[in-house]
Structure 1
Amino acid sequence: MKKLTIAAAVLVACSATAAIAQASGEGPWVVRARAVHLDMANKDGTGLGLSVNNKTIPEVDVSYFFTPNMAAELMLTVPQKQTVSMGGTSIGTFKHLPPSLLLQYHFTGLNGYKPYVGAGVNYTRITRVNLLGGGADLEDDSWGGALQVGMDLPLDKNWSLNFDVKKLYIRSNVFVGGVNQGTLKLDPVLVGVGLGYRY
């Protein structure tokens, strides 16, 4: 009975927040598609001169507005292949999947401009590591913070142009011959532009 009461309370709360968002004349859901450029910080603590390439990737995010000002955003993409270099020479590749969940504050009443800021958490899954012919390895995953600033420019009732900048904290210990050589901090800045649809 207690579980049913809690579930009912959660359902009522979600319905109430959705009603608040809809009262503003806008739906609570926003789906965006962006082209995002990853610019790696490459802070190498191993002393091996390691770096990971920058690249542009596709990204999709889904946001839910609890109120006209508060929203949660889930950022998604597909596993991305990156090249690792040592002293400027490629030593192999790995793949990573870096979904992030952020809580956002959206500013309103700015003549149609809709800037926002956000903060949350990033989880990066690292797979298919192939470095130095199998002689080197990376940790399987990374947890870190995520910061965000962006702006939506409405094109009509539902569509908007979006500009977005995120800072993700992604790092991995590097192992050579099974020995931990230190930490490689990727900590990329993600600069994105795309379209959003609100419903």
Structure 2
Amino acid sequence: MKTLSSAIALFAAVCSASTFAGEAGSQLIKFGAASVSYNNDSTELKDSTGLPLTPAGITASAEDSNVALLEYDYFVTDDWSIQLAAGVPPTVKLTAGGTAAALGNVGETSVLTPAVLGLYHFDLADKLSAYVGAGVNYTKFNDVKIYENYEQAFGGASTGSIDDNIGPVVKLGASYAMNENWSVDLAYSHYWVTSDIEVTTDTPQIGKVTRSISIDADPDIFSMTVGYQF
């Protein structure tokens, strides 16, 4: 919430200024790369049987990753743009924690997080402009794989699934215009993402056992892109 409050405060401050950062009807395509840092907050792993099959205190986290970015802005007015943002889906490793920390990486998933944002742009100097805004993200998890070390620890072949998630996103950044069309952009975004995970293990003793855990991943994303405006 501190991140959201800071973004709202900055938004309120700049909205009172005269801005000439864009031109209504213009379009901007940006491509580049980003570093994704997760703020993991996990529940404990639970199973569906009611039997003492799962040790207490097992948590999980998502490992930080990098992603290639593609963003598209359409300027509705000189100051406001609608941005569509997406990345090439990275493979994110899932790591056991708490009392199961010795297991290390226990699985992976491909993550797609497209977002739609409204951004307010304003000039800082002759060639330097900035923006701030907010929107909504949709997170989809594909190709969930459970590693062999998890299967050995919990007694059988396992499959996993992660529920899709919809959450807010806030963003702020700055752009430097190299000429009329090309620019370099640095930005920070914060996404709210909850990963509800289920892993089903086919055990030889009692059959299928489903275990669940939830991770508030809430990534911070720091990006650098090159933009072309037309």
The alignment's TM-score, normalised by the length of structure 1, stands at 0.81
From 147, 151, 156, the equivalent of 2:170 is 147
The residue type equivalent to 1:172 in the other structure is: S
Asked if 1:187 is matched to 2:218, the reply is yes
Deviation at 1:160, TM superposition (A): 0.7
Structure 1: where are the runs of 5+ without partners?
1-23
The residue type equivalent to 2:69 in the other structure is: E
Structure 2 CA distance for partners of 1:94 and 1:194, relative to 1, 3 Å:
same
Residue 205 of structure 2 corresponds to: none
The residue type equivalent to 2:172 in the other structure is: V
Deviation at 1:136, TM superposition (A): 5.7
C-alpha separation in 1, matches of 2:170 and 2:162: 23
Q: List per-residue Cα deviations over 1:17-74 (Å, max 9, x = no partner).
A: xxxxxxx768610000121000011111235221111111110100000111000110
Indicate the percent of aligned positions where both proteins have the same amino acid: 24
Residue 11 of structure 2 corresponds to: none
Asked if 1:67 is matched to 2:77, the reply is yes
SS in 2 for 1:111: coil
Structure 2 CA distance for partners of 1:136 and 1:43, relative to 1, 3 Å:
farther
Asked if 1:55 is matched to 2:65, the reply is yes
Conserved 8 A contact 1:97-1:124: yes
The residue type equivalent to 1:100 in the other structure is: A
C-alpha separation in 1, matches of 2:193 and 2:161: 12
SS in 2 for 1:107: strand
SS in 2 for 1:145: strand
The alignment's TM-score, normalised by the length of structure 2, stands at 0.70
Conserved 8 A contact 2:90-2:112: yes
From 68, 72, 95, the equivalent of 2:110 is 95
Conserved 8 A contact 1:35-1:57: yes
C-alpha separation in 1, matches of 2:95 and 2:193: 17
State how 1:30-179 maps to structure 2 within 5 Å.
30-46=28-44, 47-87=57-97, 88=101, 89-108=104-123, 110-131=125-146, 132-133=150-151, 135=158, 137-177=160-200, 179=210
C-alpha separation in 2, matches of 1:149 and 1:189: 12
Q: List per-residue Cα deviations over 1:154-187 (Å, max 9, x = no partner).
A: 1111111100111011111122446463420111
C-alpha separation in 1, matches of 2:60 and 2:159: 12
C-alpha separation in 2, matches of 1:94 and 1:40: 15
C-alpha separation in 1, matches of 2:129 and 2:35: 22
C-alpha separation in 1, matches of 2:125 and 2:29: 22
C-alpha separation in 2, matches of 1:66 and 1:136: 46
The residue type equivalent to 2:217 in the other structure is: L
Conserved 8 A contact 1:127-1:140: no
Structure 2 CA distance for partners of 1:101 and 1:50, relative to 1, 3 Å:
same
Conserved 8 A contact 1:136-1:174: no
SS in 2 for 1:187: coil
Residue 198 of structure 1 corresponds to: 229
